[in-house]
Structure 1
């Protein structure tokens, strides 16, 4: 096993493990928002705003994992 092969395995693990948390988090965000909209339809506008904000913040974790994996793959760190 060469250094390049190990680097690629580490990059794949960084992306794979970095996608699990945000995937679960996005599911929780949308589940909670849809439940709240079903219970209180008048608050849909406010809930949608917070839902999109929660989605963006959760998705940023995956983007950080992707950047770290690219840094590992191209031997920058």
Structure 2
């Protein structure tokens, strides 16, 4: 019976640690890189605010953010902050992410 309780306690502690780890990723870090897709909308609005086609830009940005779990800071450039985002291409080998 004691082993059963110990097992349940260790599972609960593991779940708690996972929750805390995920909560840390839900806020931007010091470089402005958004790490969790929960904030993709806000990160993409900021990224696409100067685009000539903001709705198209935001749609592509949200797709890239969902796949990569990050969006480079600023309105353009800074692609080295999120290599997955920078390396994603369309079928025509053009950069997919704004």
Provide the TM-score with structure 2 as the length reference. Answer: 0.42
Contact 2:48/2:58 (8 A) holds in 1: yes
Name 1:48's counterpart in structure 2: 62
What's the CA shift string for 1:8-48, capped at 9, x where partnerless? 10000011101111233244434465134134242201211
User: CA 1:49/1:39 → structure 2, altered by over 3 Å: closer, same or farther?
Assistant: closer
Which blocks of at least 5 consecutive residues in structure 1 are unaligned?
56-77
Which blocks of at least 5 consecutive residues in structure 2 are unaligned?
28-34, 71-98
CA radius of gyration, larger in = 2
How many residues end up aligned between the 2 structures? 55
Task: Answer 1 or 2: higher relative contact order, Cα 8 Å, separation at least 6.
Answer: 1
The RMSD of aligned alpha carbons is 2.8
Higher helix share: 1
